[in-house]
Amino acid sequence: MSELTNIARPYAKAAFDFALEHNALSGWQQMLAFAAEVAKDEQMNVFLRSNSTADTQANLFNQVCGEQFDQPVQNLIKLMAENQRLLALPEVFVQFSELKDDHEREISVDVIAATELNAAQQEKLAAALSKRLARKVKLNCSVDPNVVGGMLMKAGDMVIDGSIRGKLDRLITTLQS
């Protein structure tokens, strides 16, 4: 996966710089999200791995996406096809989104809780995390009964494990050492 990360980085950065210059970050993010989903499609993935020409790949990709793309995104698709990099589109989207979030001082936090969090709990958690991280927080909440109680939060490289499962695991490790 790190190979795709390295491949995608210059495309994501160029797309971000262009979108920022043209005040179109949200539009580009939506178009790249769509392109990433198309590239992930099983049939498209097989086609992109085939020995077809760059023009054929770019034309088919742009035809499938139809009017979802404006001309600059179509040009990006053509450029990536010429360099045989269309399979990296999902990673380009991920990196573009990270650049956009950094620019807008936002961060996505994955929250895994034992039970569904209500709106008030989510609001309180988002406010506390915003204060701690000094950024606007977007919560991605999910439920996992294996957490037992509490919650597990992941934001980039940071992990806050306030789950009962995590505390039990730490206790077991302490007792075994």
Report domain extents, the chain.
2-101, 105-176
Model confidence over 140-160: pLDDT tens digits? 999 998 888 889 999 878 899
The mean pLDDT values, 10 residues at a time, for the chain of 177 residues are 82 94 93 93 89 88 86 92 92 93 88 92 92 89 89 88 88 91
Q: How far apart are CA 144 and CA 25, in angstroms?
A: 33
Q: How far apart are CA 54 and CA 52, in angstroms?
A: 7
The pTM of the full predicted model, rounded to 2 decimals, is 0.71
User: What's 2-101's CATH class?
Assistant: mainly alpha
DSSP state of 156: T
The architecture that CATH gives domain 105-176 is 3-Layer(aba) Sandwich (3.40)
